Amino acid sequence: MTTPEPVHAHAVLRRDSADTEVERHVEEIRRIGLTIIRNAFTRAQMEDARARLHEIYAKQVAEVGGEENLFLIKDANIVRTPVAYDDAFLAICKHPLALAVARACLGNAITLSAQVGILNKPGITNYVNHWHRELQYQHLTSSRPLAVQTLVAVDDFTFDNGATFFLPGTHLFENFPSDDFVRKWEVQFEAPAGSIFMFDSMTYHRGAPNRTDKPRVAINNLYTLPIIAQQIDIASMLGGRHAETAEDRQLFGYQWNPPRSVQAWRQQKIDAAQKPG
Neighbours of 28 (CB within 10 A): 18
Question: So what's the pLDDT on residue 128?
Answer: 82
C-alpha atoms less than 13 angstroms from C-alpha of 27 in its C-beta half-sphere: 10
Question: So what's the pLDDT on residue 1?
Answer: 62
Written as tens digits, the pLDDT of the chain (277 aa) is 678 888 999 999 999 999 999 999 999 999 999 999 999 999 999 999 999 999 999 999 999 999 999 999 999 999 999 999 999 999 999 999 999 999 999 999 999 999 999 999 998 877 788 999 999 999 999 999 999 999 999 999 999 999 999 999 999 999 999 999 999 999 999 999 999 999 999 999 999 999 999 999 999 999 999 999 999 999 999 999 999 999 999 999 998 888 889 899 889 889 889 988 6
Position 139: which residue type?
A: H
DSSP code string of 202-220:
TS-EE-----SSS-EEEEE
C-alpha atoms less than 13 angstroms from C-alpha of 86 in its C-beta half-sphere: 22
Query: 26, 21, 18, 19: which is closest to 40 by C-alpha?
Result: 21
Question: So what's the pLDDT on residue 277?
Answer: 65
Edge-to-edge strand ranges of the sheet holding 34-37:
34-37, 196-200, 147-153, 216-224, 111-120, 78-80
DSSP state of 157: B
CA angle 79-81-82, nearest 5°? 70
Prediction pTM value: 0.93
CA angle 78-79-84, nearest 5°? 155
User: What's the maximum distance between 2 C-alpha atoms anywhere in the chain?
Assistant: 66
How far is the first Cα of the chain from the last one, in angstroms, to the nearest whole number? Answer: 51
Question: So what's the pLDDT on residue 124?
Answer: 81
Please answer whether residues 240 and 253 qualify as being in contact, where contact means their C-beta atoms are separated by less than 8 angstroms.
Answer: no
Q: What is the dihedral of CA 231, 224, 28, 30, to 10 degrees?
A: 120
Strand 196-200 with 34-37, pairing: antiparallel
Question: So what's the pLDDT on residue 257?
Answer: 86
DSSP code string of 77-110:
TEEE-GGGT-GGGHHHH--HHHHHHHHHHH-S--
Neighbours of 91 (CB within 10 A): 13
Q: In angstroms, rounded to a whole number, what is the distance separating the alpha carbons of residues 226 and 213?
A: 41
Please answer whether residues 193 and 154 qualify as being in contact, where contact means their C-beta atoms are separated by less than 8 angstroms.
Answer: yes
Question: So what's the pLDDT on residue 243?
Answer: 92
Query: 45, 68, 72, 21: which is closest to 219 by C-alpha?
Result: 45
Query: 22, 19, 52: which is closest to 37 by C-alpha?
Result: 22
